[in-house]
Amino acid sequence: MEPRILAKEMLRSALGSQRSARVGSLVRYWLPRVDQNLYSFEQSVRRMLGGQIDTVYTVAQIDPKKTGGRFAALALMGRVEKLTRRRNGDELRKRFNEVTETRYATAPDLMFTFGNSFLRLRDLDYAMKAFAQFVAVDKDDGRFHSGRKLLDYLEDRPTLNCIETILNGFESVQGADVPDLAMGLIEAIVNWNEKTGASVEIPEKLYMALLPITLNNMGDKFLSSGDAASALPFYLRSIKKVPDDALLRLQVGVTYFLAGRYQDAERHWNILATTREKTRTKLGIGSAKTRLLGDSFFIAIGHTAYIDTYIKAAKLGWRDVSRIIVPTSTGATLPGRALFPYLGKYVEQVHYLPGHIDDVVTKVGLYDSETGGDKSAATEVRIATTDDFWYGPSADGVVKWFAPHGAEVERAWKAGSNGPLFSMTNAETAHFRASMESIFGLPRDAWFVGVHVRTPGFHQKWHEAHPGTRNAEIETYREAINWIVAQGGWVVRLGDSHMPPYAPHERVIDYATSEFRSPDFDVMFCATCEFFLGTNSGFSVVPAMFGKPCALTNWSPLAIPNWYLDDVYVPKLVREKSTGRLLTFREMFSSIAGWSQFTKDYAKANLEVVENDPEDLLDATVEVFETVRGKFILSDDDKSRIERFNDIALANNGFVGSRISARFLKRYEYLLD
């Protein structure tokens, strides 16, 4: 028989049916109200005894059994609340000092009441003492409740004195139960520094109070707001706690990259490559030559175009890969999807249902789901066999970040007299040109230049969080565009619909704002143009895949050119705001001015980026046009200036990729000094 039924029958036997029914009714009525009524009773006792504290205190000391410690503590709490309402801070501090000398210092509710009352009176020093005592007698609840109260107080009064006082007593109230307090203190310090220009350091004890997942979330928060430098300390403390976390190691490298610290990024990616190799060996797939391409290859079309470099590195033997897999979620749209008809010669798409990416390793034979164990094992295999856009191995196996790695690959590729991997067939080209003649009036036998001038529209959300230096104004290119037309060519303005329209012009097609835009046409224009006139964007990588030379203008930052060696680039210069003086190339390479793509970094250094003027743009256009036509030859003086520029780059951890414009260096030769 159930206990409830047995109790009911016993009650009925003892009291009779009528009395037992009344008792049962009362129980059913009062049980849900017990907690509420006990609380009300406690509050009443506090109010009733608040004025008789000395009497209760004396009785409790004479005969603790008679009154009980809880009864006296209630009386004390009533007195504390009355003093708080009267805002009598002196008396409240006196009472607290008295209580800490008695056994009532071990009453957790009383200590919490003291701490909360001191906060209400803005006496943070005594509040910290009370909360410390609260934690001493009730570690778990004490940390949690004290932490929450202090966090609320900190949000109301985020002054430096408040921050420092809570920090000084932090060990007394912090813990895994109250990570919000540690995060609140960190945010208060960051906000204080930003507001006042101060440089208050975040103590190590705050970082160490946070779990890896919390550290990562804090890093993500700062990174999403465009502050890579502030995100780094969180990721770095997290990676110390979980050094074998491959995805976190990748994130550390990416954050260093966004902070403009490329060599530090490279170091972490070297560790990541080694970790993945060891993991493959541990899993028994060390000899497997199948690799999955990570999500970073599909952030934007320029990242997808970098698969060209990945394939070349594999063909050179720098990557021990024979099968390249692109995991694709069913129904997902990849930014560089228009490149896949060409990449498909070398890579293979493997589809998976949303949320089931680990199924890919089973489909490609890297993992046996029947014998491999739980799902986490499949995840480990996937992570260990994934390669990322951000880095690659050189001929000697040393990992380098993507731009210098790409330049080394291209140098070795060209040394072997290899041509571009991709091209459109004659039939594809003929059909495309016939369509362009029909749609845009571009004669099928006319030569044209693809022009792409980057604006923030396509990446507006990214630009809002990370205002950058890579954009330019299409109107400043009018002289160069007119010169192309004067030579008998056409211009196809490429880009996206967010761009400002280009004023109607003879033999200029504003394809970017056209209703006929398509991802396939984007690629085909890049593959069939005479040459490409562009800026620092992912689009600038696509023509080079098909062997089309590029004039890359308004390039920023200076120290990170593209990796295709036949391209020519013209960097934006940088000048001091206070003097108007242009920085020399050496000054740029040796400072943030040569490496950062974010405007906030220049503003902090009292610098400003200088866009190319129409003369710079025209010179670059003419130089590449004459190169395509076989009319441009570097003079000995040109070669000397280029060599001096490259020496400066190499001496400052730079690399040699696309060639800097000879005409540009001649004009600004004085910046080589």
DSSP labels, 467-491: -BS----GGGGHHHHHHHHHTT-EE
Residue 293 has pLDDT above 50, yes or no: yes
Q: Positive or negative CA dihedral for 617, 620, 624, 626?
A: positive
306 burial level (CB within 10 Å; 0-12, 13-18, 19+): buried
Rg (CA), the chain: 35
SS3 per-residue string spanning 506-570: CCEECHHHCCCCCHHHHHHHHHHCCEEEECCCHHHHHHHHCCCCEEEEEECCCCCCCCCCCCEEE
Mean pLDDT of 432-451: 96
What b/e sequence results for 560-593 when a residue is b if at least 16 CB atoms lie within 10 Å of its CB, and e otherwise? bbbbbbbbbbbbbbbbeeeeeebbbbbbbbbbbb
DSSP labels, 46-86: HHHHGGGHHHHHHHHHH-HHHH-HHHHHHHHHHHHHHHHHT
Q: Tokens representing 237?
A: 């403390």
DSSP labels, 246-298: HHHHHHHHHHHHHTT-HHHHHHHHHHHHHHHHHHHHHTT-TT--EEEEPGGGG
Strand, helix or coil for residue 453:
coil
- Give the count of beta carbons closer than 10 Å to the beta carbon of residue 91: 12
**Distance, CA of 373 to CA of 451 (rounded, Å):** 54
Angle between helices 108-120 and 89-99 (to 10 degrees): 160
Residue 9 has pLDDT above 60, yes or no: no
* Sheet with 550-555, edge to edge strand ranges: 508-509, 490-493, 448-451, 531-534, 550-555, 568-571, 659-660
Q: Tokens representing 668?
A: 């600004």
Q: What pLDDT does 38 receive? A: 47
Q: Report residue 51's pLDDT band, with 50, 70 and 90 as the boundaries.
A: very low
Mean pLDDT of 153-167: 80
Mean pLDDT of 555-575: 96
Mean pLDDT of 521-539: 96
Dihedral pair phi/psi, residue 25, rounded to 5°? -65, -40
Q: What pLDDT does 178 receive? A: 53
Q: What pLDDT does 254 receive? A: 96
Mean pLDDT of 110-121: 87
**Distance, CA of 620 to CA of 379 (rounded, Å):** 49
DSSP 505: B
**Out of 3.40.50.2000, 3.40.50.300, 3.40.50.880, 1.10.260.40, which CATH number does the structure's domain 435-672 have?**
3.40.50.2000
Residue 36 has pLDDT above 80, yes or no: no
Nearest to 392 by CA among 299, 313, 281, 293: 313
User: 176-231 pLDDT, tens per residue?
Assistant: 345 577 778 888 888 888 888 888 888 888 888 788 988 998 899 888 888 888 89
**Distance, CA of 245 to CA of 238 (rounded, Å):** 10
User: Residue 207: CB partners within 8 Å, gap ≥ 6?
Assistant: 215, 233, 234, 237
Of all residues in the chain, what percent carry a pLDDT higher than 70? 86
**Distance, CA of 218 to CA of 216 (rounded, Å):** 5
Residue 334 has pLDDT above 50, yes or no: yes
Q: What pLDDT does 321 receive? A: 96
Q: What pLDDT does 582 receive? A: 97
Residue 358 has pLDDT above 60, yes or no: yes
Measured between its terminal Cα atoms, the distance across the chain in Å is 99
As a whole number, the mean pLDDT across the chain is 86
Q: What pLDDT does 183 receive? A: 77
* 61 vs 24, more confident: 24
Least confident of 127-141, 314-328, 391-405: 127-141
Which contiguous run of DSSP H or E holds residue 609? strand 607-610
Q: Tokens representing 443?
A: 């004669």
Of all residues in the chain, what percent carry a pLDDT higher than 90? 58
Q: Report residue 7's pLDDT band, with 50, 70 and 90 as the boundaries.
A: low
**Distance, CA of 147 to CA of 184 (rounded, Å):** 10
Least confident of 89-98, 542-551, 575-584, 635-644: 89-98
Least confident of 167-171, 316-320, 400-404, 471-475: 167-171
Q: Report residue 159's pLDDT band, with 50, 70 and 90 as the boundaries.
A: confident
Q: Are 663 and 625 in contact (CB under 8 A)?
A: no
Q: What pLDDT does 24 receive? A: 59
CA–centroid distance for 126 within its chain? 40
Angle between helices 69-85 and 34-49 (to 10 degrees): 70
Q: Are 596 and 602 in contact (CB under 8 A)?
A: yes
Dihedral pair phi/psi, residue 203, rounded to 5°? -65, 150
Q: Are 491 and 449 in contact (CB under 8 A)?
A: yes
User: 221-277 pLDDT, tens per residue?
Assistant: 888 888 888 899 999 999 999 999 999 999 999 999 998 899 999 999 999 999 999
Q: What pLDDT does 390 receive? A: 97
DSSP labels, 123-167: -HHHHHHHHHHHHHHSHHHHHHHHHHHHHHHHHH---HHHHHHHH
DSSP 121: T
Least confident of 175-179, 388-392, 430-434, 532-536: 175-179
* 139 vs 304, more confident: 304
* 621 vs 258, more confident: 621
Cα dihedral 646, 652, 653, 654 in deg (nearest 10): -30
Q: What pLDDT does 27 receive? A: 55
**Distance, CA of 151 to CA of 133 (rounded, Å):** 18
Between the alpha carbon of residue 667 and those of residues 565, 610, 640, the distances in Å are: 22, 15, 14
Q: What is the CATH number of domain 223-282?
A: 1.25.40
Q: What pLDDT does 4 receive? A: 53
* 86 vs 569, more confident: 569
Q: Report residue 382's pLDDT band, with 50, 70 and 90 as the boundaries.
A: very high
**Distance, CA of 569 to CA of 373 (rounded, Å):** 53
**E runs forming strands in 330-479:** 347-352, 386-387, 391-393, 399-401, 448-451
Least confident of 129-138, 201-210, 370-379, 383-392: 370-379
